[in-house]
Amino acid sequence: MATSELDRVTMIVLRYLRRPFLVIVLVYAVAITGMALIPGRDPDGNPEYMSLFHAFYFFTYTATTTGFGEIPSQFTDEQRLWAIFCLYTGVIAWFYAIGSTVRLLQNPHFTQAVNQRAFARTVRRSTEPFFLICGFGDTGSLLARGLSDHRLGAVVIDRDPERIRALGLRDYTVKMPGLCADASVPKHLVDAGVQEPACQAVVILTGDEDLNLKIAVMAKFLNPGIRVICRSTSLRHEDQLRELEDVTVIDPFELFGQLLSLAITNPSLHNLNAWFVRGRRVQLGIPLNPPTGNWIICGYGRMGRWLHAYMKQAGIEAIVIDPNLDERAPPERAIRKHADRDALLEAGMEHVAGVVACTDSDADNLRILLSARASSPGAFTLARQNDHDSQPAFDAAPADVILQSSLTTARRILKLLISPLIQTLIEHLRHEGPERTDLLIDRLRSTIADREPHLWRANLRPEEAIAATDLMDEGGTLTLGDLIRDPSDLGRSLSCVPLMIERAGTSVVLPNDAEPVQRDDELLFCGTEQSERLLTATLNNPYTLRYLVTGKDPPRGYVLGWLARRFPWLNREGRTGLGPT
């Protein structure tokens, strides 16, 4: 093992149980020796001494309160007196040992050492791919739920024991072991599997920027090839994180700016992006459609700056209201006041398209919403939610959109973990325009209908698609249409849509069914879980794959082969085959 948890457990056990063990051994040794030395009487009245084995046997069954009787013959009064003394002494010794054992089990260091050892053993024995999540707050909890929905495993580390206990109560579809420890300590990262081949990435989501940076550095030293995804809102920490190789930095406030700009400029793509990650109350083909025009941004902190920058980039006029504006770099249009009703009216509340309440205080954001509704009931409103405990108040708030940092961050990371190709697809559709997005939405709606979307990737490599790679190695040609054909009905396709093909540094976006696939391609699909299972079976079953490609199921056994050669007419349309499996 990478750590000395076994040694720690042994040390703590010896520290607590060494003295009780010695006391029990001493009491039994004295009792057995005394019983063997005190003479008894046989039935004829002759002196008889009990053997050490019989003495040990007597004290063993009396310690369990069984009481089989006096052996090998009736005791003398001296023996009975000695037995009384030893039995009471033994009870005291056993109470002392049991009490020490209870104190040992209640010792937090012992419990932690045992849990860490069991945790490390569980992770080391895991053969399925998993992701290491450092920090199980709101974002980590939402990310774990998203991974569970896609049947992807995770290992969690958090310093808060309450969060780790809450992890054990979640009804995840896959097993997610958790460890209460400091993730910046290298041995804990090793125990969590950062060096295991099954570990796909390290996701760092603690609320401490310095701690996040330290964890990222430790993870890269322990496994230089591991992928790291880290949440950060500090420019200094972001610059230091980007100096590390293969580290993706997620800034939730920048994400807010991107998403709001996307919702205004391309509502259909914003709707598709939220639908991919199963956003709440998101229906495919029914976009948000916020109004166009000028906006008011209440709060010019980290989130407000990103919102203002992306609105300006999209050509949207924005007025900022904040009492603490930086005089060195103020926005072009700003009001240095608290965002109350008077300030909103001064900013032209009656004529703006929408208002964004994005201060650091949930109470202020809710107050701004009420003032905005009172000033202009028809205005489009967005509010930032900082604390998860404020969820009931925001559910009842008169806001069109609630911006949650944890939810937005978890959704973006989930897309990156499922496949980085998803974000590449979104960026491609952003540049292509709404028409291409609408075509994809129509195809998805006709294929998946009202079912929840399921994203997955398929790699055409021998370890994941043995049948497909063998067929291509033999010179065969495969197309996307062959792979997604339904084995039960060759005239239909599975309930999935190919979104992208990543091939040797190039990408094929929204390929058609006639697109040929090649060895080592990475395919991104959106469909149902049933379609993924059928596609995985196709990629690894040579009989099913050849049946889908040729439309025939040739005989497989000796008897069926002999029948096909003896009666060729039976082999038409694969009648002698067993059918695809």
Mean pLDDT per 10-residue interval, the chain, length 581 residues: 56 81 91 90 82 88 77 84 90 89 80 80 88 92 90 92 87 89 90 91 92 94 92 88 89 85 84 80 76 87 87 87 76 86 88 88 90 86 85 84 85 88 88 87 88 88 91 89 89 91 86 90 91 92 87 66 62 43 40
Report the alpha-carbon distance of residue 405 to residue 252 in Å, rounded: 6
CA 390 to chain centre: 24
pLDDT at 7: 63
Report the alpha-carbon distance of residue 260 to residue 258 in Å, rounded: 6
pLDDT at 106: 80
pLDDT at 210: 92
Report the alpha-carbon distance of residue 407 to residue 143 in Å, rounded: 8
Residue 479 pairs in a beta bridge with 516
Identity of the residue numbered 38: I
Report the alpha-carbon distance of residue 159 to residue 446 in Å, rounded: 47
pLDDT at 379: 85
Residue 311 pairs in a beta bridge with none
Report the alpha-carbon distance of residue 357 to residue 364 in Å, rounded: 8
3-state DSSP call for residue 382? strand
Report the alpha-carbon distance of residue 71 to residue 51 in Å, rounded: 10
Indicate left, alpha or beta for 461 from its phi (over 0: left) and psi (-120 to 50: alpha): beta
For the record, the structure tokens of 116 come out as: 């860490």
Identity of the residue numbered 271: N
pLDDT at 279: 67
Report the alpha-carbon distance of residue 315 to residue 300 in Å, rounded: 19
DSSP conformation class of 73:
S
Other CB atoms within 10 A of residue 449 CB: 10
Domains in the chain: ranges and CATH: 5-106 (1.10.287), 124-250 (3.40.50.720), 257-418 (3.40.50.720), 451-550 (3.30.70.1450), 553-581 (no CATH)
For the record, the structure tokens of 565 come out as: 């050669």
Going through 105-262 in order, the beta strands assigned E by DSSP cover 130-134, 153-158, 178-180, 199-204, 227-231, 247-250
pLDDT at 534: 92
Contact between residue 130 and residue 199 where contact means Cβ atoms under 8 Å apart: yes
pLDDT at 573: 46
Residue 239 class from Cβ within 10 Å (0-12 exposed, 13-18 middle, 19+ buried)?
exposed
For the record, the structure tokens of 141 come out as: 């909890």
Report the alpha-carbon distance of residue 54 to residue 511 in Å, rounded: 85
H runs (alpha helix) in 182-301: 186-191, 209-222, 235-242, 252-265, 267-276
Contact between residue 233 and residue 301 where contact means Cβ atoms under 8 Å apart: no
